[in-house]
């Protein structure tokens, strides 16, 4: 037992002596110092660079998020541009809608158009009455579905005299005006008491026109 211990001691002492002699060689000492230096630099580098790496990772994530937001904004801008182009394309039609159902009664224009058609087709405008239209106060209106606006109806009663074809063309043009006019009643008649009839037919016409008015709040 004592012999084994002594042999082990001698073996380890010889190995240590060999390592010490090896370490004392210049090339080995240089290599060892280099390895130690690299390990030290690596440790210190990782310790110092870790916050920087974390910051870089955060910046990369922020850049990616901003890139996604930029793409979304670009798509929205393109959609708005396309909507603007589409609006400009249909704008004339919208202007036509304003003329078809104006936001004001526009009586003067309506009367002028009817008088113009009467002169154009050579019919005599015998009588022209505009139904009850409330200029002040409240009037009965028709609510439009899903809209804050309300349609106000104007009743027009016309009596005209002239030849049948002229009267027929007058009615056709009246229905084709840019402003919407709905023909409710049409009655043709002749005056048998007239011996020398310059106007062979008389036309009684009841029509309806409309205009829009903003909805009112009934709450008090």
pLDDT per residue as tens digits for the range 82-113 = 888 887 777 776 666 777 778 777 788 888 88
CA dihedral defined by 97, 103, 107, 109, rounded to 10 degrees? -40
pLDDT-derived band at 172, boundaries 50, 70, 90: very high
Q: What are phi and psi for residue 195, nearest 5 degrees? A: -85, -40
Query: DSSP letter string over 5-29?
Result: HHHHHHHHHHHHHHHHHHHTSHHHH
pLDDT per residue as tens digits for the range 4-63 = 555 665 665 665 556 555 555 555 455 566 666 777 767 766 676 777 778 888 888 889
Residue 83 burial class via C-beta count within 10 angstroms: exposed 0-12, middle 13-18, buried 19 and up: exposed
Distance CA 80, CA 186 (A): 49
Structure tokens, 101: 């159902």
Distance CA 117, CA 181 (A): 14
pTM above 0.85, yes or no: no
Given a contact cutoff of 8 angstroms between Cβ atoms, the answer to whether 150 and 141 are in contact is: yes
């Amino acid at each position: 037992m004592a012999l084994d211990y002594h042999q082990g001691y001698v073996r380890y002492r010889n190995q240590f002596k060999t390592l010490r002699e090896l370490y004392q060689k210049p090339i080995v000492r240089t290599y060892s110092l280099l390895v130690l230096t690299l390990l030290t630099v690596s440790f210190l580098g990782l310790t110092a660079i870790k916050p920087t790496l974390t910051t870089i990772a955060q910046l990369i994530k922020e850049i990616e998020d901003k890139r996604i937001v930029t793409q979304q904004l670009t798509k929205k801008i393109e959609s708005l541009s396309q909507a603007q182009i589409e609006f400009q394309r249909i704008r004339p039609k919208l202007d036509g809608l304003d003329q078809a159902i104006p936001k004001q009664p526009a009586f003067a224009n309506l009367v002028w158009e009817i008088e113009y058609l009467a002169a154009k087709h050579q019919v005599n405008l015998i009588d022209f009455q505009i139904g009850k239209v409330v200029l002040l106060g409240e009037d009965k209106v028709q609510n439009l579905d899903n809209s804050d606006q309300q349609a106000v109806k104007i009743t027009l009663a016309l009596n005209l005299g002239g030849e049948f074809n002229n009267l027929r063309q007058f009615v056709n043009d009246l229905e084709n005006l840019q402003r919407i006019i709905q023909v409710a009643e049409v009655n043709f008649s002749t005056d048998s008491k007239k011996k020398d009839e310059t106007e062979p037919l008389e036309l009684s016409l009841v029509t309806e026109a409309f205009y829009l008015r903003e909805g009112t709040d009934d709450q008090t």
